Structure formats: C-alpha cells, structure tokens
Amino acid sequence: MTKHLTDHRNAPKLGRKKHFWAIEQRGKDTAPHPAIRALAQRPQSRADGLRVQHYLRIERGVIA
C-alpha cells in the first residue's frame, strides 16, 4: 500500500521563492498606493478611539 498524496514531503520550490522575493523587492522601490497614503495621512479623531474600544469589547464577548 502506498502513502497518501499528502504524506509525501516535497522539497521547497526555489522558483516560487524567487518570484516572491522579486515582488517584495519591487514593492519597496515603489511608492505606496494613493489610498494607503490617504489613510495614513488622515487626522485621527476621538471617535476612532471609541470605535476601537467597542470593537475590542465585542470581540471579548462583553455585551453591554
């Protein structure tokens, strides 16, 4: 009886890593997307802090 297809270990593919590293390096050289820049530069308001507190409270399961 042979091993199941998922039981075989494959060597990591260097080709995929090369492409990933190339994309990663290209991203460092270019400017960020304008939407990302706009979000980073927008002024923080007091409501943002309260909103985060409410999200965290809901995530913890505290309802009130």
How high is the mean pLDDT of the chain?
A: 80
Residue 6 lies in a domain: no
The structural domain count of the chain equals 1
Residue 61 lies in a domain: yes
Q: What is the pLDDT of residue 56?
A: 92
Name the band, by pLDDT with cuts 50, 70 and 90, for residue 29.
low
Residue-wise pLDDT for 48-60, tens only, equals 788 889 999 999 9
37 contacts: CB under 8 Å, gap ≥ 6: 31
Residue 31 has which token pair? 């400017």
Residue 27 lies in a domain: no
pTM of the model: 0.30
Residue 36 has which token pair? 């990302």
The whole-angstrom separation of Cα 48 and Cα 54 is: 10
Residue 25 lies in a domain: no
User: What angle is formed at CA 15 by the lines to CA 2 and CA 26, rounded to 5 degrees?
Assistant: 145
